[in-house]
Amino acid sequence: MESHGHSTNAPISVRVMRRDNPDATPRYEVFQIPHRQNMNVHMCLLEIQENPVTVEGTKTTPVAWDVNCLEEVCGSCTMIINGRARQACSTLVDTLEKPITIEPMTKFTVLRDLQVDRSRMFEDLKKTKSWVPIDGTHALGAGPRYAQDDQLVSYTLSRCMTCGCCVEACPQYGPGSAFIGPAVLSQVRRFNMHPTGKLNKGERLETVMGSGGITDCGSAQVCASVCPKEIPLLDSIAVVARDTTIHALTSWFGK
Ligand code: SF4
Ligand code: SF4
Ligand code: FES
């Protein structure tokens, strides 16, 4: 018996927002692609890459998008699929309404087609020193111990893949605002509770007390509901808000 493992269903219609460079006016192109079993959106884009011909039969350029881990860990394939920010590698075609509409995220500069520049999030992680300082590159042995409860919270927070779904949904985040957004605030919480990361806690809090920091959060609360990793962003925002208040008071009285 012959089995090609594909074409079990009707072809799929995919509408892709195209843009050749950051300043180009976006346009849509529609493609008809064969259905394959367990197909995800990333595979749809691969089909188009192999045969970049629109439904009208016009030859076009292959669609550009970012991809890396293919297992919902790196966040690089995040795009707007049928109106919702999610990962192309983990979104299954069979769960989506057709035609499938694929667009780039709206809060970052679009470089080309579905590729966006998420470096702002990484810059904000740097600004808030969202890392654990180590002295040199030699092995330091086991670090200080975490309380078990803290360890669980920290693990949950560490699952953030800087995908940007939360900032896409956040009404306070965007090109016109300096707000660092919920993902970075959550990493501030994470590194502030780390036994070694704590050493920079004051500095981190002072950064998020400034413009673009915690007070820019308007508490719209949509960020937490869209996070694919179910990171408790509202708890993180509450913890950082409380800590900044305490820090402000203690520095005031400490003067
Ligand atoms: S907090 Fe969630 S939605 Fe936001 S960047 Fe991290 S993983 Fe993505
Ligand atoms: S609570 Fe609202 S304003 Fe604050 S970070 Fe989340 S979505 Fe943005
Ligand atoms: S490729 Fe890494 S999350 Fe999709």
> How confident is the prediction along the chain (255 residues), in pLDDT tens digits per residue?
334 444 457 999 999 999 999 999 999 999 999 999 999 999 999 999 999 999 999 999 999 999 999 999 999 999 999 999 999 999 999 999 999 999 999 999 999 999 999 999 999 999 999 887 776 666 656 666 778 888 999 999 999 999 999 999 999 999 999 999 999 999 999 999 998 899 999 999 999 999 999 999 998 789 999 999 999 999 999 999 999 999 999 887 765
Q: Are 134 and 93 in contact (CB under 8 A)?
A: no
Which pLDDT belongs to residue 251?
81
Atom of ligand 2 nearest to the CA of 219: 1
Nearest partner of 162 among 85, 64, 244, 239, judged by Cα: 85
Which pLDDT belongs to residue 143?
66
234 C-alpha to center of ligand 2: Å? Answer: 8
Q: Name, in order, each residue with C-beta under 8 angstroms of 162's C-beta and a sequence gap of 6 or more.
A: 75, 118, 121, 122, 125, 183
Ligand 1 within 6 A of CB of 183 = yes
Ligand 3 within 6 A of CB of 72 = yes
Which pLDDT belongs to residue 207?
96
Mutate to test the pocket of ligand 1, among 160, 168, 189 (most ligand atoms within 8 A of CB): 160
**What are the structural domains of the chain?**
12-117 (3.10.20.30), 119-253 (1.10.1060.10)
Atom of ligand 2 nearest to the CA of 185: 5
Which pLDDT belongs to residue 147?
81
Ligand 1 within 6 A of CB of 166 = yes
Which pLDDT belongs to residue 132?
78
Residue with CA at minimum distance from ligand 2 atom 8: 170
Output the six-digit token pair for 182: 């919920």
Which pLDDT belongs to residue 142?
65
Which pLDDT belongs to residue 59?
98
Which residues have CB under 6 Å of ligand 2? 170, 172, 182, 217-223, 233, 237
Mutate to test the pocket of ligand 2, among 180, 221, 234, 236 (most ligand atoms within 8 A of CB): 221
Atom of ligand 3 nearest to the CA of 89: 4
25 C-alpha to center of ligand 2: Å? Answer: 30
Which pLDDT belongs to residue 3?
40
119 C-alpha to center of ligand 1: Å? Answer: 14
Which pLDDT belongs to residue 135?
63
Burial of 93 (0-12, 13-18, 19+ CB in 10 A): buried
